[in-house]
Amino acid sequence: MSRYKVPRGTFDILPDQSYKWQFVINAFREVARGFNYREIITPIFEKSGIFERSVGETSDIVEKEMYKFEDKKGRIFALRPEGTAPVVRSFIENGLMLKPNSSKLYYLGPMFRYDRPQKGRYRQFYQYGIENIGTMNPYADAEVIAFAYMFLSKLGLKNFVLQINNIGCKNCAKDYDNALKEYFKPNLDALCSDCRKRLEKNPKRVLDCKVKSCKEIARDAPSMLDYLDDDCRANFEKVQEYLNAMEIPYIVNPKIVRGLDYYSQTAFEFVDTNLGAQNTLIGGGRYDTLAEQLGGKNMPGIGFAGGFERLLLSMEEEKLPFGLQQKPKVYLVSLGDEARIAGIKIIMELRENGISTEFDPDKTSMNAQMKAANKTGTEFALILGENELIKNKIILKDLGNGEQKVINISDIIMSIKDK
RNA sequence: GUGGGUGUAGUUCAACGGUAGAGCACCGGAUUGUGGUUCCGGGCGUUGUGGGUUCAAAUCCCAUCAUCCACCCCA
């Protein structure tokens, strides 16, 4: 019988790590409160059609990375590979457009993609994201970006850059795709085999190919910015105006492309400058046709998503603090059977009063219990032996400075709460 | 899906094809009523798994699984 291990591309978050996750999640929730985004929690699996229709049948995510399965009645589901489509599905299904204070949503949770694992990329990974649904106003674009910026800044991160672009709407994006095809056609043979495929499927992808020869050819390719129609251009300018007003630094990078089909207009990425190959901390953009694709009314939206794993890698890289690990405040040291029973009563009372207390029934000697108290990192030891018990007293020892005093058992909670 | 590196104790790593070891961590004791330092004691672990070569394999070969890095993709 072989020992079981975590599935490939997944991992356990152990206690010495989980406090970091809690720290980052709490920070995210605080920023959400500041921007008045409220949490939405959707199922971890959906009808697979939701993703096929929105993310795109030809996207890598749908084509080869989805965990699809059939249930007992033959329905085809998928473990969600991303968070936006489910949120929009729920938004439509529950008529949130009609409910007050419900258009700005955030979510947290695991996503699943069958990809080859590497640094910063896992098969089950944890995303945080926000969606602002129902407005075309470019202020919403800027606010979503500001949210992301404030979140990263709040954690203390410095080694990142914000890149923004406008990839056009369904009208002008086509013109641009055609222009790109025209531009690359004479150089077709010089492009890598991937790029030749990309040129058919998604010509914009050729622009950020990493192959040297492709890069050189792409250097003088037409820029999306020259093909934007009036609306898109105006929108892009407004977004930048708002970002400037918010004093959020950014660079315009006409080469950033989002990989999911539903994106249009504003696209942006927060890229870490000293992570490995998987260095996109947060990616987001506008999706003005997504709701329609999912069978709802024509309804615009904008949002972003980020991965916690990369966030933690980045914070560790910058040696940023994650707050304190959980530790009990008090350790009970009891000696003898009677004192043990009395001690158990005491720790129950302490816990009821919100004082976190530890006790190890396997250790009986004073030495072993004191060592354990020290190792656990508690502030105080409460020492109760027969001598004290007879007098209704207990010893309260401060493990920081070694000072100890004898107090009445009835005064324990008061004495500890004072500190 | 492609390429390269790596799999030995909880962990970090040793061991020219010839008896599997050390640091850290952990547990106990010195101190049967006082922690951190110190000292003493405590290691049979499917050498990832399965085959093969060999008198002999942790070591060489093949496969497989896992992991890391990169491509790709993206968070």
**Residues A313-349: tens digit of each pLDDT:** 999 888 899 988 889 999 999 998 899 999 999 999 9
Please name the nucleotide lying closest to A360, CA to C1'.
B27
pLDDT of res. A330: 94
**Looking at this predicted complex, what is its ipTM?**
0.85
Which residues belong to CATH 3.40.50.800 in chain A?
330-418
Please name the nucleotide lying closest to A129, CA to C1'.
B75
Which residues belong to CATH 3.30.930.10 in chain A?
15-171+229-317
Residue A3 confidence class, pLDDT cut points 50, 70, 90: low
pLDDT reading at A250 higher than 60:
yes
C1’ B67 / CA A110, Å: 22
pLDDT reading at A93 higher than 50:
yes
A81 DSSP assignment? S
CB A273 within 8 A of CB A162: no
Please name the nucleotide lying closest to A82, CA to C1'.
B75
Determine if residue A14 is left, alpha or beta; phi over 0 gives left, psi from -120 to 50 gives alpha, anything else beta.
beta
pLDDT of res. A188: 76
Contacts of A328 (CB under 8 A, 6+ apart): A356, A357, A358, A376, A378
A330-418 CATH fold: Rossmann fold (3.40.50)
pLDDT of res. A25: 97
pLDDT of res. A409: 95
Region A225-239: what's the mean pLDDT?
92
C1’ B2 / CA A313, Å: 26
Share of chain A above pLDDT 90, in %: 62
Residue nearest to nucleotide B32 (CA to C1'): A365
C1’ B58 / CA A117, Å: 28
A15-171+229-317 CATH fold: BirA Bifunctional Protein; domain 2 (3.30.930)
User: Tens of pLDDT along A278-314?
Assistant: 899 999 999 988 999 898 888 999 999 999 999 999 9
pLDDT reading at A2 higher than 60:
no
Contacts of A25 (CB under 8 A, 6+ apart): A108, A128, A308
User: Tens of pLDDT along A129-176?
Assistant: 999 999 999 999 999 999 999 999 999 999 999 999 999 888 888 888
Residue A222 confidence class, pLDDT cut points 50, 70, 90: confident
Rounded to whole angstroms, the Cα distance separating A92 from A211 reads: 42
C1’ B68 / CA A117, Å: 10
C1’ B23 / CA A367, Å: 26
C1’ B9 / CA A44, Å: 39
DSSP string, A367-396: HHHHHHHHHHT-SEEEEE-HHHHHTTEEEE
Rounded to whole angstroms, the Cα distance separating A49 from A60 reads: 15
Please name the nucleotide lying closest to A311, CA to C1'.
B75
Residue A1 confidence class, pLDDT cut points 50, 70, 90: very low
Please name the nucleotide lying closest to A379, CA to C1'.
B35
C1’ B45 / CA A3, Å: 15
Region A178-200: what's the mean pLDDT?
79
Mean of pLDDT over chain A: 90
Pick from A328, A348, A344: nearest CA to A384: A344
pLDDT reading at A45 higher than 70:
yes
pLDDT of res. A410: 94
User: Which bases of chain B are contacted by protein, using any atom under 7 A from a CB?
Assistant: 1-3, 26-36, 46, 49, 65-75
pLDDT of res. A352: 95
Please name the nucleotide lying closest to A395, CA to C1'.
B34
pLDDT of res. A84: 96
C1’ B27 / CA A334, Å: 20
